[in-house]
Amino acid sequence: MGDSYIILKTTALKNGSLRHDIHYWIGKDTSQDEAGTAAILTVELDAALGGRAVQYREIQGNETEKFLSYFRPCIMPQPGGVASGFKHVEVNNLDHETRLYVCHGKHVVHVKEVPFARSSLNHDDIFILDTKFKIFQFNGSNSSIQERAKALEVVQYIKDTFHEGKCEIASVEDGRMMADAEAGEFWGFFGGFAPLPRRAPAEGNEKHEETAFKLLCFDQGKLEPVNFESLAHELLETNKCYLLDCGAELYVWMGRTTALQERKGASEAAEKLLSDSNRTKTHIIKVIEGFETVMFKSKFKEWPQTPDLKLSSEDGRGKVAALLKRQGLNVKGLMKAAPAKEEPQSYIDCTGNLQVWRVNDKDKALLSSSDQSKLYTGDCYIFQYTYPGDDKEECLIGTWFGKKSIEEDRVTAVSLASKMVESAKFQAVQARLYEGKEPIQFFVIFQSLQVFKGGLSSGYKKFIAENGIDDDSYSEEGLALFRVQGSGPENMQAIQVEPVASSLNSSYCYILHDGNAVFTWAGNLTTALDQELMERQLDVIKPNTQSRSQKEGSETDQFWSLLGGKSEYSSQKVVRELESDPHLFSCILLKAVEQVKEIHHFTQDDLMTEDVFILDCHTSIFVWVGQQVDVKVRLQALDVGEKFVVLDFLMENLARKTPIFTVTEGNEPPFFTRFFTWDSTKSLMHGNSYQRKLAIVKGGGAPALDKPKRRTPVYSGRSTTQDKSQRSRSMSFSPERVRVRGRSPAFTALAANFENSSNRNLSTPPPVVKKLYPKSLTPDSSNNKSSAIAALAGSLDRPTQNLTPESVKGKFCAN
């Protein structure tokens, strides 16, 4: 309490850069000189790191949630100070002093020691009484379940830290009389039970009055007010520093071209401004131009999209390493380069069963197994994918909206899919997907996909007729051009594009046909794999038809004639948006999703069963709904996700068509749990967040629900029994063709080593293999084929001679 500290938090981001957050913490007994020095040293530390850190002033007892998230479950500052006149108080377990603490917070806990007296207690807060042999948690009647659960983490921390894990724990509810043994023991420390008085509204935490924002320019050592009608980004000049006073926060904005002395002066001016007005609880947050926080940018009427001003991760690591080395710290390992970017993984079992419906005339029509991978851009579809999980059949129910589908069909699709999810007792994950923004999970469960122009639904046909639009729906006998894309046999698509030369791209392969005249075209930048996928798609679009191969630069006149003549075209591959670092938000549901709060450095324990949370990783949005959430709110989960996308809380230009998944507690798929260190048993516990945590803290854990048995999916209201060819995830496209879907020549050669005639028929479902995530063979593993096969056999717990190529496909997706 008698010291000041500087905390540097460095985070490696997925884009390869480093983010720095610097906090300077001021103990309540620290000297004014020390506090001022901490503020100046923070500015100098930022300059040493390249001038891009966000700096926060943290006052003891009024720390930001971001700061407290570094020190979960709490910080409990100790009396005294280092190398100062204060006497450091040593903890003596033999002479334990009874202490009373008050706790606030649903997501992180503010802990403050208060006088050990009845007058400290109230109905609104949670109190922890730490005695020699027992720790009591007193829950004020007006406190929330979530706050009570978080306070129990502090109880556990006190038990482990100050009692070496050896003491009893008791919970006391506000209003319990002396008849309750634990309540009676608790009140005995206060001289017996007596009703608590109502706390006056003026007491408690200071509340900042709503005040108009003030903008002050720091120029030549003086603060000058800046007049404005609306707070605009243009008011900030890059060669100056500014103070933005928002009441609860005071921001210091430092232009990129300002000198270090100028920044120090602005920092001192901010400290003096708050000191002169005795505003002890206002947070000071310092930002550098180009690295502003979302909260700072949100104060302005508009904030322009600017390119990221970031140093390379190697440069950032070098600066951090040099800084720490000067302090005599070991920096071994800090200079390691960031790992190379890998192909995105799907994190979903690829051996499941798929059903697809086309939305038509306010109903849905089930597609045959041969048509379920053929989608039209003017239609809407519902898909249901069931796959084996750890203890039950997992299910993903989703809607896919074609780019030219009509609004009426989209509304119908969402309504029908939501009813399927509701009939499944919300145990299925629901997805809302748009053409062109599909996540990798969608492509992997379809494996081979074709998207045609036009539409077949009656609503689409009626719409184009009423608006005088030509029907350009795909015809096998007509002229059509397809771009082929994908990363392998388990993820490949053929997308119909305009049949003109400008649609070509040197980075892709194409299929062009006009009736029975079929051409394949390979760009100069394509790989052998790209050309392999083109051949596979040709099996579907034009099976048993002879094609004429065209290489870029040596095309025939007939090829160009079909495309209407030569023209310029691109060579740049279409780059899909990259997944960003995930952000978790708690969401309070009102008429609009307005109360959104970020949870910093989140863990699975932050997902409380009473609440709704949103996980934003930019390329997808997940809405997580706890078991204790009301059914009416569960039905609104998709709407919550859509409103969050519109809100764009992180100001990251979220596309309106961003994929949205709704996930209920206990039914989280691997492509959601991968963002956490996940323990699936936590969702099997009885009770609310507080009851679950109390059972764990008191020892012995909470009683778990019976493990769910694997269920037969009945979500659609139809029988899900499929013919053998539909259930197989490796069926052949055409009986006359030799090549089998999902099997490259390399795979076929590998499988031939242990394939025999007594195996199960290839059209029957493969043996259940849990957690099959498609991966290619590594160079090392492919060098030793026999050992790879032996290792695979062991992992499947089956004799080698019983393996089939299909049962192994998820493990060996080699080309």
* pLDDT in the model for residue 577: 86
Domain limits at 675? Answer: 583-696
**Are 157 and 216 part of one and the same domain?**
no
* Tens digit of each residue's pLDDT (9 = 90 or more) over 674-731: 999 999 888 888 899 999 999 999 875 545 554 544 444 434 333 333 443 343 443 3
Same domain, residue pair 282 and 156: no
Q: What is the pLDDT of residues 83-100, one digit of tens each?
A: 554 444 454 545 688 999
User: Which residue shows structure tokens 């299910």?
Assistant: 395
What's the pLDDT score for residue 643? 92
Say yes or no: 217 and 279 in one domain. Answer: yes
Torsion of CA 714, 717, 722, 726, to 10 degrees: -100
Q: Which positions ≥6 away from 631 have C-beta within 8 Å?
A: none
Q: Out of 386-390, 593-597, 655-659, 783-787, which region has the weakest mean confidence (pLDDT)?
A: 783-787
Which of 15-29, 46-60, 174-188, 419-433 has the lowest average pLDDT? 174-188
Work out the pLDDT band at 742, boundaries 50, 70, 90.
very low
Residue ranges with strand state E in 589-683? 595-599, 612-616, 621-625, 660-664
Q: Is the pLDDT of residue 511 over 70?
A: yes
Query: What is the rounded average pLDDT of the residues 169-181?
Result: 82
Predicted TM-score (pTM) of the model is: 0.82
Which position has the token pair 């007939």?
A: 558
Higher pLDDT, 764 or 605: 605
Q: Is the pLDDT of residue 345 over 80?
A: yes
Residues 16-52 as b or e (16 or more Cβ within 10 Å = b): ebbbbbbbbbbbeebbeeebbebbbebbebbeebbbb
Residues 6+ apart with CB under 8 A from 791: none
Report the mean per-residue pLDDT for the chain.
82
* 310 belongs to a structural domain: no
Q: What is the spatial distance between Cα 714 and Cα 720, in angstroms, rounded to a whole number?
A: 7
* Per-residue H/E/C for 698-730: CCCCCCECCCCCCCCCCCCCCCCCCCHHHHCCC
The pLDDT value recorded for residue 590 is 54
SS (H, E, C) 51-82: CCCEEEEEECCCCCHHHHHHHCCCCCCCCCCC
SS3 48: helix
The label of the residue with tokens 């007596």 reads 194
In angstroms, the CA 355 to CA 417 distance is 13
Q: Are residues 429 and 533 in the same domain?
A: yes
Single-letter code of the amino acid located at 757? S
Alpha helices in 432-505 (DSSP H): 440-446, 458-466
| Last-in-domain residue among 259, 280, 298 | 298
513 and 408 within one domain: yes
In-domain check, residue 121: yes
Element (H, E) at 271: helix 260-276
- pLDDT value at 363 more than 90: yes
Q: 111-152: per-residue pLDDT in tens?
A: 999 999 999 999 999 999 999 999 999 999 999 999 999 999
Over the stretch 305-338, which tens digit does the pLDDT of each residue have?
A: 765 554 444 555 566 666 666 666 665 555 454 4
Which residues in 236-245 are b (16+ Cβ under 10 Å) and which e?
A: beeebbbbbb
Q: Kindly state whether residue 305 falls inside one of the protein's structural domains.
A: no
Lowest mean pLDDT among 21-25, 139-143, 333-337, 739-743: 739-743
CATH number, domain of 363, equals 3.40.20.10
631 belongs to a structural domain:
yes
Judge whether 488 and 553 are in contact, CB under 8 Å.
no
To the nearest 10 degrees (0 to 180), the angle between helices 260-276 and 32-48 is: 150
Tell me, yes or no, whether 183 and 224 share the same domain. Answer: no
Taking a C-beta distance cutoff of 8 angstroms, is the pair 293, 287 a contact?
yes
Model confidence pLDDT, tens digit, residues 559-615: 999 999 999 999 988 888 889 999 999 987 655 445 789 999 999 999 999 999 999
Strand partners, 134: 168
**Do 221 and 147 share a structural domain?**
no
Cis omega (within 30 of 0) for bond into 73:
yes
Residue 385 forms part of a structural domain: yes
Which residue is listed with tokens 């740049």?
Answer: 572
DSSP string spanning 561-598? Answer: HHTTS----B-S--PPPPP---EEEEEE-SSSS-EEEE
Are 445 and 504 found together in one domain? yes
Q: Does residue 497 share a domain with residue 374?
A: yes
Q: How far apart are alpha carbons 18 and 312 in whole angstroms?
A: 8
State how many domains the chain has: 4
Q: Which residues pair with 614 in a beta bridge?
A: 585, 623
* Residue 799 in this model has a pLDDT that exceeds 70: no
What is the C-alpha separation between 3 and 87, in angstroms, rounded?
12
Q: What is the tens place of the pLDDT at every residue in 414-426? A: 999 999 999 999 9
Residues 480 and 510 in one domain: yes
Confidence of residue 759 (pLDDT cuts 50, 70, 90): very low
Token digits of residue 603: 């863990």
Per-residue pLDDT at 48: 92
Q: Which two tokens stand for residue 199?
A: 């706390």
Asked if residue 102 and residue 65 are part of one domain, the reply reads: no
Q: Looking at 172-181, 343-352, 611-620, 656-665, which range is the least confident one?
A: 172-181
pLDDT in tens, 229-255: 899 999 999 999 999 999 999 999 999
- Give the three-state DSSP class for 536: helix
Which amino acid does the sequence have at 626? G
Domain finish residue from 532, 563, 594: 563
Amino acid at 197: P
What residues form DSSP beta bridges with 704? Answer: 685
391, 504: one domain: yes
The pLDDT of residue 8 is 96
Cα–Cα distance measured from residue 167 to residue 163, given in angstroms and rounded to the nearest whole number: 6
pLDDT > 70 in the chain, percent: 77
**Strands 491-497, 448-452: parallel, antiparallel or unpaired by DSSP?**
parallel
Query: Per-residue pLDDT averaged across 194-223, rounded?
Result: 72
**Residues 347, 351, 353, 357: is their CA dihedral positive or negative?**
positive
Residue 32 placed within a domain: yes
Q: Which position has the token pair 């017996």? A: 192
User: What is d(CA 534, CA 812) in angstroms, rounded to the nearest whole number?
Assistant: 21
Spatial contact of 29 and 2, defined as CB atoms under 8 Å apart? yes
Strand 283-288 relative to strand 54-59, pairing? antiparallel
CA distances from 69 to 72, 101, 255, 365 (A): 6, 19, 29, 50
Of 169-173, 261-265, 313-317, 435-439, minimum mean pLDDT range: 313-317
Split at pLDDT 50, 70, 90, the class of 354 is very high
Residues 6 or more apart whose CB falls under 8 angstroms from that of 102 comprise: 111, 112, 114, 120, 125, 126, 127
Average pLDDT over residues 14-18: 88
Of 65, 163, 146, residue with least CA distance to 110: 65
Asked, for residue 291, whether it belongs to a domain, the answer is yes
Q: What is the mean pLDDT of residues 656-684?
A: 94
Residue 157 reports pLDDT greater than 90: yes
Cβ atoms of residues 646 and 658 within 8 Å? no
pLDDT of residue 219: 87
Q: Which residue has the higher pLDDT, 645 or 781?
A: 645
Type of residue at 593: V
Angle (deg, nearest 10), helices 313-326 and 32-48: 140
Alpha carbons 457 and 53: distance in angstroms, whole number: 54
Assign 553 to helix, strand or coil. Answer: coil
Of 516, 532, 563, the position where a domain reaches its end is 563
Report the DSSP beta bridge partners of residue 495: 451, 483
Helices 407-423 and 458-466, interaxial angle, to 10°?
160
What was the pLDDT predicted at 342? 59
* Non-local CB neighbours of 343 within 8 Å, separated by 6+ positions: 487
Choice among 454-468, 659-673, 771-785 with the minimum mean pLDDT: 771-785
CA distance 234 to 227: 13
* DSSP single-letter state for residue 800: G
Reading phi first (left if > 0) and then psi (alpha if -120 to 50, else beta), residue 654 is in beta
**How is residue 711 written in tokens?**
């269920």
Q: Which two tokens stand for residue 553?
A: 């630069």
Q: Is residue 395 part of a domain?
A: yes
